[in-house]
Amino acid sequence: MTERWDPAGAGVIALPSGRLVRGRGLRRPVPEGPDPTFSVHLLGRQPPPVPWESLWLRWPDFRLPADRAQARAMLRQAWDRAATDRVEVACGGGRGRTGTALACLAVLDGVPADEAVAYVRRHYHPKAVETPWQRRYVRRFDRR
């Protein structure tokens, strides 16, 4: 098993199961501490390479994922990997798309979909999940 994130580390959110996931904005420097072992980058264009395993999900700023089935598969993979790996979810600013993805991970972890945005705002950032359509996306995201 990989060394876990520090639960008090910058951007780290603890899901109810105990899985730890780090959210961050890619326009900021990588936080102190260990690098992720796996990340999902939520951007409108392909991100630069990183020295760890990563996936790119095409997700334009202030919008929703371009391919919802791909988004579900990648978020499921991130949730699965968070049980043993240091998983990071990141967009440009670290709030809207990242918050939306973290809320979906919370749903996969058992948080009711209608409570997931509040959960992420309480445990990650108070302004996470920025748009009405991002909030609706989370409410309609289910565990299947």
> In which element (H, E) is residue 68 found?
helix 68-81
Other Cβ atoms within 10 Å of 112 Cβ, number: 11
Q: How far apart are the first and last CA of the chain?
A: 26
Task: Give the pLDDT of residue 79.
Answer: 98
46 belongs to a structural domain:
yes
pTM (two decimals)? 0.96
Spatial distance between the Cα atoms of 43 and 51, rounded to a whole number of angstroms: 18
Q: What is the pLDDT of residues 70-125, one digit of tens each?
A: 999 999 999 999 999 999 999 999 999 999 999 999 999 999 999 999 999 999 99
3 belongs to a structural domain:
no
Q: What is the pLDDT of residues 119-129, one digit of tens each?
A: 999 999 999 99
- Give the domain CATH number at 121: 3.90.190.10
Burial label for 64, CB within 10 Å (0-12, 13-18, 19+), is middle
105 belongs to a structural domain:
yes
Q: How many CA atoms lie within 13 A of 111 on its CB side?
A: 24
121 belongs to a structural domain:
yes
Task: Give the pLDDT of residue 46.
Answer: 94
